Structure 1
Amino acid sequence: MNIKAAGAEYALKYAVQRDHGDRAQLIEGVIVPESRPWSHEAAAHSLRTQLSTRAAELGCVIGSGNLDLSGSPNWYVPDLAVVPAAAAKNADALLPDQTLLIVEVTSESSAETDRQVKRRRYAEYGAPLYLLVDRQQRALTLFAAPGRLGYTRITGPLPYAGTPLPLPAPFDLTLDTSGL
């Protein structure tokens, strides 16, 4: 990336953060304001509750903080991310490879982006686990083993009306999907 392109990327990401706060993302260079219905928040809350004890044991925090995809026109705010507390402590943004798990819960406006663009970008930037909770298709899919061409291990799509979903190490727990 040349200096001019890097400067433009920085300026755009800075503008999104300062002018739109934490409720906007930059997806493939387009500013996308976020508005989440309560049904969306309920699904995220169910997962946060199930992950919280194990995250604490791993020395991690769960949040929806900023993820910077350096070198690209992307600045994401996932619905949930599990990250090491030490990495999160003084960070404005983290890289996807600094997470242990990223969760996106689809809405009508974000479903295709979450299914396609974010899945590709999270793999490209090394997010070890990406859980897609697809509310429109009432299914969930766990993507693991990221690489430049995408994820190489995929579990799902599974119906989430109570289908248990095992999370691999370091989590080693099974998610109950009945509350989604």
Structure 2
Amino acid sequence: MTTANDYSEGNGAELALKYAVQRVCGGRAELVEGVIDCASHDWDHEHTRSVLRTRLSEAVDRLQCVAGSGDLDLPGSLNWFVPDLAVVPKALAKGGGALLPDQVLLVVEVTSESNAETDRVVKRKRYAEYGAPLYLLVDRLERSVTLFAEPGSLGYTKADGPHPFGTSVRLPEPFGIDLDTSGL
């Protein structure tokens, strides 16, 4: 959990807001462009996350990582994300606090009707801006998967997709796997 002591410098209002967000909705709230969003997902959404976690598990173990949906802070902005799935090194996962997007190997967002545009536009932009190396967008409404890579301040410079569900999507190194998207 992030506290004011976790920042060497920063905006007091930003810190207070992020601290408060961590205490609403059972700790599963996000702050997206300054708006609090309480994460609540249907069973189909949970099924998709579960399938992805299972299909990534061998690579996650090989890389000595953890796959989960812990907090990601975007300091200097009014954003605090709780991705549907992120792959992070085990050593970083043991601290108990929020991580930064550039500390993860992969971020996965699964769209719902209530958040599709946020995942497609806002999060894609912010994850790139904050250096998340790979962003996998699983769009349940479009029934497609897109992998974004090579982050920069203006967004991701490489996109692979959208691919229809059922297509294998190549996750580059360090994963080096073809991710089966059937049954999502």
Query: Does the alignment reach a TM-score above 0.5?
Result: yes
Distance in structure 1 (CA, Å) of the matches to 2:70 and 2:175: 20
Q: How does 1:82-121 map to 2 (within 5 A)?
A: 82-121=87-126
Length, aligned pairs only = 177
Q: Tell me which residue corresponds to 1:168.
A: 172
Runs of 5+ unmatched residues, structure 2: 1-8
Greater Cα shift, 82-91 or 125-134: 82-91
How much is the aligned-residue C-alpha RMSD, in angstroms? 1.4
Q: Which residue of 2 aligns with 1:179?
A: 183
Say if 2:158 is the partner of 1:142. no
* Pairwise CA distance, 1:22: 2.6
The answer to whether the 8 A contact 1:6-1:71 is kept is: yes
Contact 1:62–1:82, Cα closer than 8 Å, also in 2: yes
- Once residues 80 and 49 of structure 2 are traced to their aligned partners in structure 1, the CA distance between those partners, rounded to angstroms, is 20
Question: 2:26 — aligned with what?
Answer: 21
Q: Give the superposition deviation at 1:92.
A: 1.1
Query: Residue type of the partner of 2:174?
Result: P
Question: Structure 2 vs 1, CA of residues 29 and 5 (structure 1 numbering), >3 Å: closer, same or farther?
Answer: farther
| Structure 2 letter corresponding to 1:116 | V
TM-score where L is the length of structure 1: 0.95
SS of corresponding position for 1:93: coil
Q: Deviations over 1:65-124 (max 9, x none)?
A: 000000100000000000000011013100000000000000000000000000000000
AA aligned to 1:173 is I
| Cα offset, 1:5, TM superposition | 6.9
Of 106, 128, 131, which aligns to 1:126? 131
The Cα of 1:179 is off from its aligned counterpart by: 1.6
Measure, in 2, the Cα distance between the counterparts of 1:123 and 1:88. Answer: 21
Describe the superposition over 1:116-170 as per-residue Cα deviations: whole angstroms up to 9, x where unpaired.
Answer: 000000000000000000000111100000000110110001101x111110000
Ranges in structure 1 where 5+ consecutive residues have no aligned partner? none
Aligned partner letter, 1:176: D
TM-score, normalization: structure 2? 0.93
More strand by share: 1
